[in-house]
Structure 1
Amino acid sequence: MTIIIEQPQFDAAAERKVAGDPAELVLDGGFTVPDSNAFGHTFRDYDAESERKKTVEEFYSVNHINQTYEFVQRMRDAYGRLDKTEMSIWECIELLNEFIDDSDPDLDMPQIEHLLQTAEAIRKDYPDEDWLHLTGLIHDLGKVLLHPSFGELPQWAVVGDTFPVGCAFDECNVHSKYFKENPDYHNPEFNTKFGAYSEGCGLDKVLMSWGHDDYMYLVAKENKTTLPSAGLFIIRYHSFYRKPLHKHGAYTHLMNEEDKENLKWLHVFNKYDLYSKSSIRIDVEEVKPYYMSLIDKYFPGKLRW
């Protein structure tokens, strides 16, 4: 997300800079990670004995078996046309009220709650980075793929941690044992370290497992958003970063220099994405005018989806 490198370790004190320009990185905005999630367990613990454990593991078993190189190509071709409907960003946000993410071990509330919690937590710590506030609000909008008007795709084709397809599946991916049943696992064209790719090719040349991340990236890009490249990178790879890339440095051999720079902003973003989840509700009508102003700044009124 070039040459194999060690996963960068970010020293918040050493790299804190003045905010204002997306190129100027502020790694520590002051956010404190809670001790436990909404269920009283450690965040992102896929093995914790909770009411969510069985649902989450069943999700990843189906996801890992079915996310093949051919499947991703087919989905990108079909949904990349953006011919399903036209609607505004906020209309899309309201559609997400109907869905709960089966892959998430930390929260079982409608998606609009997560979007606003993420955006508001970022806004508090990074008041001058309005592009990052908006990125927090819209990063999961691709989950509208679950809606009947978008084909009502199954959850395994929409949510969950993402990973490259077309090369060997890394064992540090969540519930990696299920990859052994994926047809690409036994395909010599795709089951080597580089597979269909080359060293340092850049993540934009790599097919990721299909889901809401890649779809929302396509929507934003093709509708000519003026978000900075770091915002688009966050939208496209926020579900890839969590375990393999951040914790284990997997797949860094596919990254180029631009990826490495944008990864620093993804590092900032993901603690808000992962750890701002709670049972505390946000007053939607109170914060809506602010986010509407950001939508108008960075997006057209109606988008093709």
Structure 2
Amino acid sequence: MRVLSEAAPVHIIDPSELLRPEAKFAQKELTAFRNYAIDQEDPIQERVRKTYLDMHTYQTVDFVSSKIEKWCKFDTFKATMKDALIKLNELVDESDPDVDIPNIVHAFQTAERIRKDFPNDDWFQLTGLIHDAGKVMAFYDEPQWCVVGDTFVVGAQWGPSIVYSDSSFHNNPDGKNPKYNTKYGMYEPNCGLDNLTISWGHDEYLYRMLKHNKSKLPEQALNIIRFHSFYPWHSGGDYGHLMTEKDQTETKKWVLAFNKYDLYTKSTEVPDIEALWPYYEKLIEKYIPGELEW
């Protein structure tokens, strides 16, 4: 088992940050955001498009099963949650042309905004801090298209609100498999979120890692972590035929409550991370103590 410090530094693009100007969350006019039309002359837009093309080509039922098998042995490295978060200092969201900040700064911005609005919900604050910690997979030979970005259901028809859904799935073999290419695919009606197989990324990995390490975070926190990138469901309105009533009410309520802090907390104001660490270390010790198996 490797230790976290042995991994080589890597810079990673999170294209999902470019593609989410939902009016329900925005705190500024949508015209202030980038134009996301396909433009092969724009290197950022083209890089985003290519990332999603790879994701939608290679994320299949078999691929996701292989990643669960690989990563859910939890034998890649050992580290405290603080060590993993510090590692995110080397993870820069290169998809954002305006704000060049390490991922850990975004983590503290998210946590502090939640803390301001929810001063008594320390579990919610900690969820804001750690929600992207699963991106450490990028330091261990995983391509960015199976670490970052919006997630979607594999094993059934792809939701129409998926980013680039009309132009990016044509080479995915599951689309030609009658077991997977129908409305319900390999699922039963209203089977529920817990019974769906979601494309592999940092959300599902961190959720499973926390469960494995017996985190004391409440169910709401674990659901936020697991589904915060599942935009086709929680913001696109897709997959309702696979959901339970609880999924569509309680779970979605908390995921949406969190996402407004995740998406629109970036600013030029950088938190004093060193001054904030003692507060958040206490929360880590309360909910996710000690050295963890990743």
Distance 1:208 1:107 in 2: 30
Partner residue in 2 for 1:299: 288
Match of 2:241 among 235, 244, 253: 253
| In structure 1, distance between residues paired with 2:70 and 2:120 | 38
| Counterpart contact for 2:160–2:238, Cα < 8 Å | no
- TM-score, normalised to structure 1's length? 0.82
Letter of the structure 1 residue corresponding to residue 119 of structure 2:
P
- Which residue of structure 1 lines up, in the alignment, with residue 120 of structure 2? 128
Structural RMSD (CA) = 2.2
Is residue 23 of structure 2 the alignment partner of residue 35 of structure 1? Answer: no
> What residue is the counterpart of 1:78 in the other structure?
70
Matches within 5 A, 1:15-54: 33-35=26-28, 41-42=32-33, 46-47=36-37, 52-54=44-46
Q: What amino acid is aligned across from residue 257 of structure 2 in structure 1?
A: V
Q: 2:183 aligns with which of 166, 180, 193?
A: 193
**C-alpha displacement at 1:96, in angstroms?**
1.1
TM-fit CA distance, 1:161: 0.3
Identity of aligned residues (%): 46
Question: Aligned equivalents of 1:104 and 1:236: distance in 2?
Answer: 24
1:218 to 204, 208, 212: 208
2:196 pairs with 1:206: yes
Deviation at 1:114, TM superposition (A): 1.1
The runs of 5 or more residues in structure 1 that have no matched partner are 1-30
Cα 1:291/1:217, change in 2 over 3 Å: same
Tell me how far apart the structure 1 counterparts of residues 55 and 81 of structure 2 sit (CA, whole Å).
28
What amino acid is the match of 2:33?
T
Would the alpha carbon gap of residues 136 and 157 (structure 1) be closer, same or farther in structure 2, given more than 3 Å must change?
same
Distance of 2:29 and 2:291 partners within structure 1: 39
Equivalents in 2 of 1:104, 1:211: separation in Å? Answer: 20
Q: Distance in 1 between matches of 2:25 and 2:60?
A: 38
1:116 match: 108
Q: 1:180 aligns with which of 170, 185, 195?
A: 170
For the Cα contact (< 8 Å) 2:60–2:173, is it kept in 1?
yes
The alignment status of 1:144 with 2:136, answered yes or no, reads yes
**Contact 2:57/2:168 (CA < 8 Å) preserved in 1?**
yes
Q: CA deviation at 1:211?
A: 0.7
Hey, what does 1:14 align to over in structure 2?
Answer: none
- Contact 1:121-1:272 within 8 A present in 2 as well: yes
What is the letter of the counterpart of residue 191 of structure 1? N
Q: Classify 1:32/1:238 alpha carbon distance in 2 versus 1 (closer, same or farther; 3 Å).
A: closer
Give the 5 Å matches for 1:86-97: 86-97=78-89
Question: How many aligned residue pairs are there?
Answer: 267
Distance 1:124 1:33, change over 3 A: farther
Contact 1:202 1:259 in 2 (8 A): yes
Maintained 8 Å contact 1:41/1:48? no
- The SS at the match of 1:179 is coil
Residue 61 (1) aligns with residue 50 (2): no
In the TM superposition, what is the alpha-carbon distance from 1:257 to its structure 2 partner?
A: 3.2
Q: Distance between the aligned counterparts of 1:227 and 1:258, measured in 2?
A: 19
Amino acid at match of 1:252: G
CA distance in 2, matches of 1:121, 1:171: 32
Give the conservation status (yes or no) of the 8 Å contact 2:25–2:260: no
CA distance in 1, matches of 2:154, 2:92: 26
Tell me the TM-score normalized by structure 2: 0.85
Q: 1:36 to 1:216 in 2, by over 3 A?
A: farther
Matched position secondary structure for 1:70? helix
Tell me the distance in 1 between the aligned counterparts of 2:32 and 2:59: 29
Aligned to 2:235, what secondary structure does the other structure show? helix
